[in-house]
């Protein structure tokens, strides 16, 4: 619930506070799928992030991965709903990954070959490092393994 008594939307509740928080596919998906095991927790956490975060940050890779996951699991309409809502948001910054950062992500995948990180995870970690972000809205354990804080659920 927003301070003005309305429900939060993808446009957020209000002005910037605090620091930016990175949003992973696992959180976007949990918000969109009412049957996801993390759905209720995601919706309980999301308004608090909107209130205290300066903004939410995600990448073109996360958006693509989320669209594909929603499309294959929930269908075209739900996937396009996600894209529309994300596109309308003034609180979500979508970062487009340049080649040099993708190369850094390849390096992380090699360095941490003992972990089952996805390429999208590695790109997310690189962006979080560059932006000096410490917190991720994610249900993916890999963010914690890499030393990032997850909101308390």
pTM given for the model? 0.86
The token duo for 6 is: 């309305």
The predicted structure's pLDDT at residue 50: 86
42: DSSP letter: H
Identify whether the C-beta of residue 123 lies closer than 8 Å to the C-beta of residue 59.
yes
The token duo for 93 is: 């910054």
153 residues of the chain, pLDDT tens digit each: 455 454 444 434 444 446 899 999 999 999 999 999 999 999 999 988 988 889 999 999 999 999 999 999 999 999 999 999 999 988 899 999 999 999 999 999 999 999 999 999 999 999 999 999 999 999 999 999 999 998 765
H/E element, 128: helix 119-131
CATH class of 20-145: alpha beta
Question: Could you tell me the residue ranges of all domains in the chain?
Answer: 20-145
The predicted structure's pLDDT at residue 12: 47
The predicted structure's pLDDT at residue 36: 98
The predicted structure's pLDDT at residue 152: 67
């Amino acid at each position: 619930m927003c301070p003005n008594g309305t429900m939060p939307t993808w446009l957020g509740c209000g002005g910037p506070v605090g620091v930016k928080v990175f949003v992973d596919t696992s959180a976007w998906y949990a918000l969109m799928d009412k049957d996801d095991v993390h759905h209720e927790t995601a919706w309980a956490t999301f308004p608090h992030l909107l209130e205290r975060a300066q903004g939410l940050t995600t990448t073109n890779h996360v958006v693509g991965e989320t669209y594909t996951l929603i499309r294959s699991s929930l269908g075209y309409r739900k996937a396009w709903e996600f894209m529309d809502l994300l596109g309308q948001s003034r609180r979500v910054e979508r970062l487009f990954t340049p080649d040099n950062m993708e190369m850094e992500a390849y390096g992380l995948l090699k360095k941490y070959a003992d972990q089952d990180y996805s390429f999208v995870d590695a790109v997310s970690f690189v962006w979080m490092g560059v932006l000096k972000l410490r917190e991720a809205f994610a249900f993916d354990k890999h963010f914690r393994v890499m030393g990032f804080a997850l909101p308390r659920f």
